[in-house]
């Protein structure tokens, strides 16, 4: 039986997971847009190298793909759990299968890739800013 403290903790984890996913999407998309802007409209004053910008775009796209795949695997896991519940109503919780494992793994991957994209973006931007100063 689930206690009130456990229910509250699960609600908080769900809330935090949603916020983290929202931040990852916004950060990845923002990095893609800003990097693309530097690529298509290069500036003489703030000249950012193209390789870090292209890398950031690829990493941003990988992060968004990992986010999408996380939801696809979550859907597949929920469908399997739904089938398990139909067969045996005494089952509690989600099925512990490869979809659940992959879903959790992808949650971490999208965060790691986005953090790497931020680092690469800053590594490309800081030298350009130092030349301006």
Instruction: List the chain domain ranges.
Output: 4-132
Q: What tens digit of pLDDT does each residue of 13-54 get? A: 999 999 999 999 999 999 999 999 999 987 888 889 999 999
The predicted model scores a pTM of 0.88
Residue 132: pLDDT band (50, 70, 90) is confident
User: DSSP characters for 58-90?
Assistant: HHHHHHHHHHHHHHHHHHHHHHHHHHHHHH-TT
Q: What is the dihedral of CA 49, 53, 56, 58, to 10 degrees?
A: -120
**Region 73-101 average pLDDT:** 84
Q: Is the pLDDT of residue 10 over 70?
A: yes
User: DSSP characters for 2-21?
Assistant: --HHHHHHHHHHHHHHHHHH
Contact by Cβ (8 Å): 69, 113: no
Q: What tens digit of pLDDT does each residue of 97-131 get? A: 899 999 999 999 999 999 999 999 999 999 999 98
Q: Given this model, what pLDDT does residue 116 score?
A: 98
Q: Given this model, what pLDDT does residue 1 score?
A: 62
d(CA 90, CA 69): 29
Burial of 85 (0-12, 13-18, 19+ CB in 10 A): middle
Q: Is the pLDDT of residue 89 over 90?
A: no
**Region 54-82 average pLDDT:** 95
């Amino acid at each position: 039986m689930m206690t009130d403290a456990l229910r509250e903790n699960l609600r908080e984890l769900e809330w935090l997971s949603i916020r983290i996913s929202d931040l990852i999407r916004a950060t990845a998309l923002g990095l893609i847009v800003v990097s693309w802007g530097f690529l298509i409209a290069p500036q003489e004053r703030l000249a950012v190298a193209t390789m870090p910008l292209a890398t950031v775009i690829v990493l941003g796209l990988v992060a968004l793909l990992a986010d999408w795949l996380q939801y696809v695997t979550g859907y597949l896991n929920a469908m399997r759990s739904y089938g398990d519940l139909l067969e045996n109503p005494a089952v509690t919780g989600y099925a512990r299968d490869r979809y659940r494992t992959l879903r959790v793994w992808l949650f971490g991957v999208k965060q790691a890739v986005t953090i790497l994209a931020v680092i690469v973006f800053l590594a490309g931007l800081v030298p350009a800013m130092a030349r301006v100063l």
